[in-house]
A = this chain, B = another copy of it.
Amino acid sequence: MSDNKIKNMEDFAAVSGLSRPTVSKYFNDPNSVRSSTRDRIEAALQKYDFHPNIYAMNQNRKLTNNVGIVVPYLSDPVFAELARKVEENCILAGFRPTLFSAHGQPRLEVEILDGLRLLKPSGVLIAPLGRTPNRAVIEKFCADVPTVLFDSFLPDTGLGFAGSNNPQFAHLIVDYLCRTGEYPSFLEMRTPANPNANRRRQAYIAAMENLGFEPSIVKIDGEGWAFEEIGRSGGGKALLEKQFATNTILCSNDRLAIGFLTACYENQIRVGRGPDCDIRVAGMDDHPFSRFTCPPLTTVAQDFESVAKEAVSILVASIEGREISKPSTFFDGRLVMRESA
């Protein structure tokens, strides 16, 4: 640990008895130098702990080691989990991921993308907010920077996509609910913050018609990302006004369901599938807290791990110049039966 004034690669090359270009080669790919050379460098690294200046590196390199990860709303535990797994996979693939959240604001999403351009990243993984005005911005961005979309699909944009098979989610839970009791009414926001909501609604309708039932959708007011509060107030109002066609409610997502469960509690409506219960409630996503609601929420679990892995693997393939065999993958969800339905 005698780091005697090793200020740059020049100095470090000197103390390791090599030339700077050789050392530079090593840092760009340790396997590009002879193993005996590699050993000398690594021995010197132990003694002097030198780190190349990343700004000087990135200034000249065609490809930085940076990867940007952008999610619409990091305070939403579903996205926090997804982002965590994407980050993990990026690190495993040898990248330096940087995490960004649009905090639900389209303006911020644009700013993040602008900032990312300056970082000259090797690639970007983005779960778009999905708001119409930003579609063009994201398309433009994808044209400039190797970008993989995840979670929320945009047609003909980016290198590829990995996300959930939202229609399958709705079919799965609708089938389950119908099989085990009354057919479900659907609860959602009138203007969903996330475009996956639309696919889930459409699949709900299709699944219902498939089984010969009349779809029944209750749309509640509320803007933004405070889904629980929207589910509570809007869902409570819908309950009081008896807007639901049946006593089985399928919520567009778990966060909405969590708020709706609170509304049920406030109105002394017993939730569950027991004989003494008034109503069944189900969601979609398998939000980290869904297991801890009262009663625990029946839902469809997203396969975060597969989504994250696939998204990163598309990016890696593209960066390494390989063909992308399957640009878009939609992973099936898994039914999670708990006590709420």
Chain A residues in the interface with B (C-beta under 8 A): 51, 53-56, 58-59, 74-75, 77, 80-81, 83-84, 96, 98-101, 103, 115, 117-120, 228-229, 232, 258-259, 261-262, 265, 288-289, 291-296
Contact = CB atoms under 8 A, between A and B. Distances in A.
A56 B54 contact: no
Contact of A103 (B84, B101, B120): B84
A291 B229 CA distance: 9
Contacts of A53: 59, 118
Contact of A59 (B56, B75, B229, B261): B56
Nearest to A64: B55
B59 A55 contact: yes
Given A265-B295, A293-B294, A81 B77 contact: no
A184 to B, nearest CB: 21
B84 A292 contact: no
Contact of A75 (B77, B98, B100, B120): B77
A320 B53 CA distance: 25
A101 to B, nearest CB: 7
Copies of the protein in its oligomer: 2
Given A55-B55, A58-B55, A292 B228 contact: yes
**10 tightest Cβ-Cβ pairs between the two chains A and B:** A265-B294, A55-B59, A294-B294, A75-B80, A262-B292, A55-B58, A55-B55, A228-B292, A54-B118, A56-B59
B232 A262 contact: no
Contacts of A259: 292
Nearest to A103: B84
A143 to B, nearest CB: 15
9 contacts: A53-B59, A74-B83, A74-B84, A77-B80, A80-B80, A99-B101, A258-B289, A262-B292, A265-B295
Contacts of A288: 75, 228
Nearest to A119: B54
A300 to B, nearest CB: 20
A3 to B, nearest CB: 12
A301 to B, nearest CB: 16
A118 B81 contact: no
Contacts of A228: 288-289, 291-292
A294 B84 CA distance: 29
A293 B83 CA distance: 25
A258 B53 CA distance: 46
Contact of A118 (B51, B232, B292): B51
Contacts of A81: 75
Contacts of A74: 74, 80, 83-84, 99
A54 B289 CA distance: 41
Nearest to A99: B99
B294 A262 contact: yes
A74 B261 CA distance: 25
Nearest to A263: B292
